[in-house]
Structure 1
Amino acid sequence: MSKFRKKKKDLPAVSTASLPDIVFMLLFFFMVTTTMRETDLKIDSPRLPSATEVKKLERKSLVSTIYVGKAKDPKYGTGYNRIQLNDKIGTADDVTAFILREREDKSEKEVPFMTTSIKADKESSVGTLADVREKLRDVNALKLSLSSHKGSTIKK
């Protein structure tokens, strides 16, 4: 009577036929949604000041960013008063040429909507920021945004 043994039923193998499709869909999704950083920061990431009233910029394509802070490499100088315009360290006198180059890339209709964003470290000199603002005023770049992070400015 022991001639008839019950065979063990194995689970069927998992089909991997659709695996390449899934991998390519994920790859395509991340390629489309990922944005690459446009500039390589030569300044330490600025420690932004806190603000209670924060508003997000709408059209990032019309924003030109000026970084003010401490240079990562000592060959650019020391202190928190280094200015980075796109991928190069410059001075306040270079701001005028920077804004004019940024305007050349935009259409005539978009120029009035362009905004200049200043990302300055907390320790940056007010004199450096005043010099940058004066150069922006000279070139009639009057829409200015000072970057900060949302938080309380009142110390308890």
Structure 2
Amino acid sequence: MKKITSILAISSLLSFGISFVAIASPAVTTMQLSLRVSCQDAIASVKRKIQQNRNILVRFEARDIANYGWETGKIPRGKKILEINMGEMGMKGMKGNRQDMLNVMNSPKLLSSLASEVINGCNDVSGINIGISHTDYGRMYGLVGDRVQPFKCLSADRSRRNLPWGYMVCL
């Protein structure tokens, strides 16, 4: 494995089993891990769609749903959330074109399509969290019932410890 300039959350990826190419200027790293072909294809396709005609670094990290604080009894199937992070903070600020990242984030149709592709292709994934690295600008999508949809907002002052599946705290 070649060394890259950014740090990837390898332990999370290993537990999820993702195979992908992470591109960071100037080096490239390829991680070969076992995973169903449909999920590998979905992740590669999502990366291509985000980067198509855009200058955006894209990183993926799988996390256990249990780490997020949802009521686990209502989660429809997989026990993972796939974090999709655009950009990376460098010594001279954000790497990648910020306007390109904002264009992706401001396209509900594109975000919904990306979420559906990952969730339908990856049985272990019940939701995706896509956003711009090192900011609070993100969107959460998940399988609610039999549909992939954006999560609804609850106020940050909510006294409840665990959120119902399909909801997130919004500022």
Q: TM-score, normalised by structure 1?
A: 0.32
Bigger strand share: 2
Q: TM-score, normalised by structure 2?
A: 0.30
Higher relative contact order (CA 8 A, sep 6+): 1
